[in-house]
Amino acid sequence: MNEFELIARLTKSLPTNETVVAGAGDDCAVLDLGVPEKLILFKTDAVVEGIHFTKETPPEKIGRKALARCLSDIAAMAGTPTAALVTIALPKNFAAEFVGKIYDGLNTLAKKTGVAVVGGETTTNPERILISIALLGTIPRARQILRSGAKVGDAIFVTGELGGSLAEKHLEFEPRLEEARWLAEHFRLHALMDLSDGLGGDLRHILNASGAGAEILKSAVPVSRTAKLAARGNSSAKPAFVAALTDGEDFELLFTVASKDAVKLLDAWKKKFPEVKLSCIGKIVSGAGILIRDKHGAHQFNAHGYVHFA
Amino acid sequence: MNEFELIARLTKSLPTNETVVAGAGDDCAVLDLGVPEKLILFKTDAVVEGIHFTKETPPEKIGRKALARCLSDIAAMAGTPTAALVTIALPKNFAAEFVGKIYDGLNTLAKKTGVAVVGGETTTNPERILISIALLGTIPRARQILRSGAKVGDAIFVTGELGGSLAEKHLEFEPRLEEARWLAEHFRLHALMDLSDGLGGDLRHILNASGAGAEILKSAVPVSRTAKLAARGNSSAKPAFVAALTDGEDFELLFTVASKDAVKLLDAWKKKFPEVKLSCIGKIVSGAGILIRDKHGAHQFNAHGYVHFA
């Protein structure tokens, strides 16, 4: 049983109440706590030594990444982050200075993104550092953009470049908060999420939630320079295109809009965010699964994105 | 450096914003997100295998305890819990059935207390299970009861019985949600918290936050039968009274009210909660620290409650 199978099983019949607008299964839970014009976003995410960072990772970057991952989930709802709690589990003989630097990295990103750090907890995890972040955010009531809204004919967009993130970007990425809010304010997004497990895996979440398939134009997928270099230098490495679809930890936005909005959106984006690439990589089609179209034709894409526990 | 020293250092200059009513340092963070008549409570808490439970603990009780600890913090603000997220870190070869039972225990308590479980995350922690819960709740705007409101002359109360919790109670305690809300609705509580690290340590949090001391009447402290039996059977064990002050994990309420309200409160409590003991254990005095009064006089109490990392 892998992570996704376990989650599917565990989230089948969770307790609910009248505050729940969207529970498990999207980037954030969405709650109605009675704020007149807003809904509340609620998200947790954890990073673990040896998995999401190493013993050699500078502590400031560990703290930064822990928060940035959660912020990316708020971006995936086109939301505004508000307040975070930090739970940090430490081996017994931790160095206080090291822990202080984890907080420094986290606090710097919190300040930059307007997030209050309102406390948390320290506990013991004897073998390795684990940091779990809980984050609250808000969205305007009329603007819930879930994974389930993609429609046949939609254009599929992705920000930035994909693949090779583990070389460096996973510690330094900018959560696409501003970009996502701008998109949601100016265009009617049908589906939106952030890429954490790789386009090949994450796009399936939109397709499954929306009951549709996708056709991706291979030449349109923005493969990162890092992924290209890694493939070029090592014959046993993944081809760069496969890396772009499966490496994970890109933390870019993946979204769909009606095809009639696609050109207008691309033009407006280039003016607003000239330094952030935006690529139309394909379209939503009827059916299920992902078809990759290249000069030889169309092929089913069966590889998955990164799966924990796999 | 122990847990409390580390937290003190880390929480000195945390990022804040206009939503923060009370940040780090109380049982829950308190946020104003714009709900007309309510403030939002926000809390995280983690349990770790080998520390808060063992390999032999039945999985339903692990899940129950993970949520119950957070609920006790909502009770410590006299709040109403709303929604929880569950982060569970698992060794690679986890048994899905075991994890399912952890969720069963958690979900049963969630249903009973009106909490929606709105998702969470699974990740890998190779050596041991760790569960981190993030919990939201609400309180009426006019009813924030912090640790810092104790006044000289206040009567100090504690619910239930103290000590010996690790024998059994720590897996089965009932978070005092209903009791705390009833107290806050009917009496003017000056300070309120839940007992997680032991009366001897936790009372100091109220005293330090309120700038006062306490005089405790030894004979009035409700020592649990379990703590008494443990002390009787074993000459190297803690005396039962010391166990009651230092064992930790009692998850009872500790609060202060003006002395003029004390008798009325005790009488009303007995009618409302005939099965839950309530003890007036002493009073808030000027100065600092804890004085224990017995038939031989008054002594400073210097032992601490349970300190992680100690």
DSSP tag of A212: -
The CATH architecture to which A3-140 belongs is 2-Layer Sandwich (3.30)
* Cα–chain center distance at B243: 17
Which ranges in chain A are annotated with CATH 3.90.650.10?
A: 147-300
Please state, in angstroms and as integers, the Cα–Cα distance from residue A162 to each residue in A69, A100, A173, A203, following that order: 16, 32, 12, 13
pLDDT digits (tens, 9 = 90+) for A96-137: 889 999 999 999 999 999 999 999 788 999 999 999 999 999
Residue B132: list chain A partners with CB under 8 A: 44, 46, 87, 132
Mean pLDDT to the nearest integer, B186-203: 95
Residue B310: which pLDDT band, with cuts at 50, 70 and 90? Answer: very low
| pLDDT at residue number B233 | 76
| Residue A236: pLDDT band with limits 50, 70, 90 | confident
Where do the CATH 3.30.1330.10 domains begin and end in chain A?
3-140
- Residues of chain A in contact with residue B94, where contact means CB-CB under 8 angstroms, are 309
Among B23, B116, B124, beta carbon nearest to A20:
B116
Residue B128, CA distances (Å) to A44, A135, B93, B131, B144 in order: 20, 25, 11, 10, 37
Residues with Cβ within 8 Å of residue A170, at least 6 apart in sequence: A52, A65, A249, A251
C-alpha angle with apex B284: B280 to B287, nearest 5 degrees?
Answer: 155
Structure tokens at A55: 């013993």
A1-10, A225-234, B113-122, B155-164: range with lowest mean pLDDT:
A1-10
Does the pLDDT at position B67 exceed 70? yes
Residue with tokens 């709105």: B118
What is the ipTM, given to two decimal places? 0.92
Chain B residue numbers touching A16 (CB-CB < 8 A): 116-118
Contact check, Cβ <8 Å, A83/B123 = no
The C-alpha atoms of residue A157 and residue A148 are separated, in whole angstroms, by 16
Q: Higher model confidence: residue B166 or residue A38?
A: A38
Nearest to A119 among B29, B99, B120 (CB): B29
pLDDT at B12: 78
Encode pLDDT of A51-96 as tens digits.
Answer: 999 999 999 999 999 999 999 999 999 999 999 999 999 998 888 8
CATH 3.90.650.10, applies to B147-300: yes
Within a 10 A sphere around the Cβ of A138, how many other Cβ atoms? 20
Distance from CA of B186 to the nearest CA of A (A): 25
pLDDT at residue number B7: 72
CATH no., domain B14-140: 3.30.1330.10
In chain B, residues under CATH classification 3.30.1330.10 are 14-140
Q: What is the pLDDT, as a whole number, of residue A303?
A: 62
Using the Cβ of A288 and the Cβ atoms of chain B, whether some distance falls under 8 Å is answered with no
pTM, two decimals, is 0.93
Q: Which of B132, B139, B147 to mutate to test the interface with A (most CBs of A within 10 A)?
A: B132
Convert the pLDDT of each residue in B116-172 to its tens digit: 999 978 899 999 999 999 999 999 998 888 899 999 999 999 999 999 998 889 999
On whether any CB of chain A is under 8 Å from the CB of B21, the answer is no
Nearest neighbour of B125 by CB, restricted to A13, A34, A125: A125
Out of A15, A100, A121, the one facing B116 most closely (by C-beta) is A15
